[in-house]
Structure 1
Amino acid sequence: MRTVRTLAAALLAGAALLAPAAAATAAPSPTPSTGQGTGKDGRAPTEAGTGFRTAALFRPGQKATASAATGDYLYWAFPADTGQRATVRAAVTLPQSATRHGAQTWRLDVYDGLRRRQPCAYGKQSTAAAREAATVELSCTLRTVRSGAEAWSNDPLPGSYYVRLTVAGVHEEDLGLPVRAQVEAAMTETGGAAAVDAALAEPLVPGISGASESQREARAPEGGWSGGWWSDRWLWTAAGGVLAALAGVYGHSLTRGSGRPSRPQA
């Protein structure tokens, strides 16, 4: 009975160890953001770049804005780390319908640090707006960022992600009309369910090797790059090892108990 009580207490302790990890894996939640920007004043950018090299940096949770002309290519960039799944949303305020000559189709594309276009797991990546529409909204949810991948694969890896927003279909006479754009990125932590046993030497951030410390911080997530070494799989592995050891002790105690010779009755 003493062995059984000891084993029961140990199993309860192991269950308590597993509970936080199970809760974190079963119910991923959006990563909170303090709204700190990349500029000195901590604000989100109010202009967009015209290419990958001039992309305006913003952090997840911020709303980056820009005034532009219909037909312009607008570029922004944000950091995404291992275990995060990014959802990028964009909204475009269109010119007044009286000044437009037809419908418009807008498109949202997301590229990684190697400028590889990343497919959307789901979302409305391309949207057509009627002539009477005042706004158009788009979204793209990427696959979970992995800590490492094969060189030939197109898996999303930690680093900078570029957002490109432009009109893909428009009446020629509407080119140049003023528009107002807004983009944001929301992160969801997926935990060890998407973890892999690999890690990059450095995140895919162009120019990070020769960048200053302040430039590195501006391009990194608020908590810095994780490096991909940690995931909640460590908790599951440790807890599983503890439970396996306890099961072995319990099995050994049962074997010893069944093998004892019975005492002769007087």
Structure 2
Amino acid sequence: FRDVKFLPDCIGSEVEAACADPAPGSVILLENLRFYPEEEGKGVNEKGEKVKAAPDAVEKFRASLTKLGDIYVNDAFGTAHRAHSSMVGVKLDTRACGFLMKNELVYFGKALSDPERPFLAILGGAKVADKIQLIKNMLDKVNEMIIGGGMAFTFLKVDKNVEIGNSLYDEEGAKIVKELLSKAQEKNVKIHLPVDFVVGDKFAEDATDKTTTLEEGVPAGHMGLDVGPKSQQLFAEAIGRAKTIVWNGPPGVFEFEKFSHGTKAMMDAVVKATEGGATTIIGT
């Protein structure tokens, strides 16, 4: 065991002085970097108001972080993809990944480069445009793909001319839906889209809810906020077949209890598949 010295800040002259010449073997813990908007580029001020960090303040913040050490080790796999100051702004020549990062990279590398099949991707989220590259890349690797969330309505509108009411529709993403579906057919990837929906009259916890079919579509004045029971069963069957599962994004608005059942059912199916030996990777 070692004593850990906690510093009540993460930048500034006092922190720099404490880190300049510590005793060999010392462990120093800094205050949370996200207390500064310069870490993420945005944040809230003392009044609780949203603020953006000024570019010159971000550079000053990063310069102070850089003074705190000689070697940069990143062991935060869960935030390594973010353009935060602590991820991309520490300008030290020697950079390395930590043991956790190494283990995650080895695990992901094996799962994605030589997956046990069938290989299933589950993709949710609002906009097709945000996930175009991910979908394209996964179509080169997977055997089956479930598309849920808000972007499913863009696929259904373009591919099957389904009435989607006030559901999310991504005009930009719609332009590439046919290309993506064509690539899926070319690669022999089975695409699963919702076949029924739980719809609401507004985006809120107290929205009125009912289930509609693919043929009925989403009524005018309503929006699709979750997948229905038939979709849940369809997706569970695909999940049950899979030996490798990559899941990115929920199939419904799980933050609202009455529209969370599709996500819960999917999670139950993924847990069951994982307990049965499937390799599962879940991200946001």
TM-score (norm 1): 0.24
Larger Rg: 1
TM-score (norm 2): 0.23
More helix per residue: 2
More strand per residue: 1
